[in-house]
Amino acid sequence: MNEYDISAAFEAIEQELIASMIRNMNRHRAEELKEGYDWSMWQVEQLKALEKYKLENQKKYSKQFKSINAQIGELIWQARQQGGMKQEAQILRAIKNGFKSYKPASAAMQAEFFKLNTRKLEALIKATGNDMKKAETAVLRMANDQYRKAIFNAQVYANSGAGTYEKAVDMATKDMLSRGLNCVEYKNGARHALSDYADMAIRTASKRAYLQGEGEKRQEWGISTVIVGKRGNPCPKCLPFVGKVLIDDVWSGGKASDGPYPFMSAAIARGLYHPRCKDSHSTYFPGISTTEDTWTREELKSIEKSYKKEQDQLYTQRQADKYGRLAEYSLDEENQQNYKRKAKQWNHIRFKTGDIDSNAYMESKKPLAQFRAVSKERVVNVLRKESEVWIDNLTKEEKAAIRKYTYNSGDKSPNRFFERLNAMLRGADQPNDNLIKYADTISGAIKKNKIKQDLICFRNLDINPYTDYSIGDIFREPQFTSTSVVSGKALDKKFKITLYVPKGSPGAYIEKISRFPQQRELLLDKNCLFRVISKGNDSIELEVIP
């Protein structure tokens, strides 16, 4: 389990705490009388449910927290070992390349270093564990407090004109759903959820352990100078130190006599290696390593722009998460639809500006770079041959699901199987367990294959579903996308879509298992990412982003 897995585990716990609370609200509903709802009786039932909720959560999640915390300690130990091994390899390479200014410590001194650094690491693990236990206790306490608050506020909102039971409960839980269970408060007053805090704490502790492992090896070889790596998008706090040589007095035992450079401890005091810091340093070997680097004015402007874009991306992600929670856990159908619409809008903004990393986004903005499509004369024969191995490896269930997707006996438009399935995936219809199973089966089958050639595909529709998108926009399509690799085989509809499908895209050629092989169908997986290349009144060109 890595830091991503641990953060995801905490996030799943937070979501289950909220979901369980809302299920109780939905299950134990207030009785509607002629003069209104019987809120007093409802509050009594909800308070009983709250006591059960508290006991069950304490019993259930205490075990989970204990298991996760044990893995956090192991993760920190591994980071130290990885840092040490990587640093020793780097030092040996430098010596092989001619570095001679090293003074290996004696065996007794190395043993002393190891004991001291082990105590430091144990203290780091203990401090991280204690902080996590406090945060874990806080999330359960906050869930209980928010549940109790909602119980009493629902009646207040009902009396103020909320109307229905569902709307009253939604108003009572809106603040909690908007923020999530943000149970950890930092010194600056900012509040964060357990999963977000865990991500920060574990990354910070693992990084310090890794740097400690590196520092131990430098101590063993009598080296203390390091250089902070120059990367494309340092944060403002770290920027003054990027590309600079420092004496590492924190992890490598450096002294003032080791060179005319500032101390690492002074740089840390000024902001270097703050929580979630992405910067790092490596050993500086005088005469071997590249000397200190500086920034040009153009680079500084680019860094400022990239940093602002990254912060904007994080903000849009938080907004998308906020409205996603409200859509999922609101009881009133009108509220659900409003929040779904807002979540979709924020997700659209997120994919216009990039998912997380601005550099990756700029790279993805190069449309159809190196795209070399198979010719229309060869494409069918090439795909037939390439699909044989994939089809042979499919299970009977997977083949049947794909065939059912292409044709389901007795279905009539506009309520055919594939239309019902895709409507559910788009969020237009309510979730259905049977359809979800089919969607997962078809997607699982497609994931066994990767497109091996650059392809041009075609898809025609009665209407234009992409009116909200502009040229250059990036969006995710939650449903499966049926296309034809032969333009004349696509359905005869008014709106024409041309798709550029690069090799590596998630899709499969299904002619041999389709009920309609003459359509020469390439089926793209659900949740594909597309970019708008060009638009016309009755046409659009899209690129699949693998």
Assess whether 207 and 80 both reside in one domain.
yes
Assess whether 8 and 107 both reside in one domain.
yes
Assess whether 99 and 172 both reside in one domain.
yes
Give the C-alpha separation, 499 to 484, whole Å.
10
**DSSP symbols for 438-489:** HHHHHHHHHHT----SBEEEEEEESS-TTTT--TT-EEEE-S-EEEESSGGG
Instruction: Give yes or no for residue 352 having a pLDDT over 70.
Output: no
pLDDT per position as a tens digit, 65-103: 998 988 898 889 998 998 898 888 889 888 888 888 888
Assess whether 324 and 252 both reside in one domain.
no
160-168 CB contacts, 8 Å cutoff, 24+ apart: 164/332, 165/29, 165/30, 165/32, 165/37, 165/331, 166/330, 166/331, 166/332, 166/333, 166/335, 167/332, 167/335, 168/37
The reported pLDDT for the residue numbered 266 is 95
In a domain, 407, yes or no: yes
Query: Phi/psi zone of residue 371: left (φ > 0), alpha (ψ -120 to 50 degrees), beta?
Result: beta
Q: Which of 266, 294, 322 is the last residue of a domain?
A: 294
Give the C-alpha separation, 183 to 379, whole Å.
56
In a domain, 371, yes or no: no
Number of folded domains in the chain?
4
Q: Which domain holds residue 537?
A: 379-545
Assess whether 43 and 148 both reside in one domain.
yes
Flag whether the pTM goes above 0.85: no
Taking residues 314-338, what's their average pLDDT?
A: 92
Instruction: Give yes or no for residue 147 having a pLDDT over 60.
Output: yes
Count Cα neighbours of 121 within 13 Å in the Cβ-side half-sphere. Answer: 28
Taking residues 259-277, what's their average pLDDT?
A: 92
Taking residues 493-513, what's their average pLDDT?
A: 92
Instruction: Give yes or no for residue 472 having a pLDDT over 70.
Output: yes
Q: Which residue has the higher pLDDT, 290 or 220?
A: 220
Lateral strand order in the sheet of 225-228: 245-247, 225-228, 281-283
Give the C-alpha separation, 450 to 432, whole Å.
28
Q: H or E element: which one contains 497? A: strand 495-501
Assess whether 287 and 319 both reside in one domain.
no
Alpha-helix residue ranges (DSSP H) falling in 28-106: 39-96
Least confident interval from 174-188, 289-303, 447-461, 521-535:
289-303
In a domain, 369, yes or no: no
Instruction: Give yes or no for residue 354 having a pLDDT over 70.
Output: no
Q: Give the confidence band of 247 by pLDDT, cuts at 50, 70, 90.
A: very high
In a domain, 368, yes or no: no
Closest by CA position to 331, among listed 104, 6, 25, 5: 25
Assess whether 403 and 425 both reside in one domain.
yes
Q: DSSP character for 282?
A: E
Q: Which of 252, 277, 294 is the last residue of a domain?
A: 294
Taking residues 398-423, what's their average pLDDT?
A: 87
Closest by CA position to 18, among listed 153, 103, 123, 142: 142
Identify any residues that bridge with 521 across adjacent strands, giving them in sequence order.
Answer: 484
Single-letter residue type at 115: K
Instruction: Give yes or no for residue 368 having a pLDDT over 70.
Output: no
Q: Which residue has the higher pLDDT, 194 or 32?
A: 194
Q: What is the mean pLDDT of the chain?
A: 86
The reported pLDDT for the residue numbered 311 is 82
Closest by CA position to 498, among listed 450, 539, 464, 452: 539
In a domain, 120, yes or no: yes
In a domain, 367, yes or no: no
Residue with tokens 């389709």: 514
Taking residues 204-224, what's their average pLDDT?
A: 91
Instruction: Let me know: does 177 contact 133? Beta carbons within 8 Å.
Output: no
Taking residues 127-141, what's their average pLDDT?
A: 93
Residue with tokens 């709106």: 495
Detail the DSSP E strand segments found in 146-260.
184-185, 191-192, 225-228, 245-247
φ/ψ of residue 500, rounded to 5: -100, 115
- How far is the first Cα of the chain from the last one, in angstroms, to the nearest whole number? 26
Least confident interval from 147-161, 165-179, 242-256, 393-407:
147-161
Q: Which of 193, 222, 251 is the last residue of a domain?
A: 222
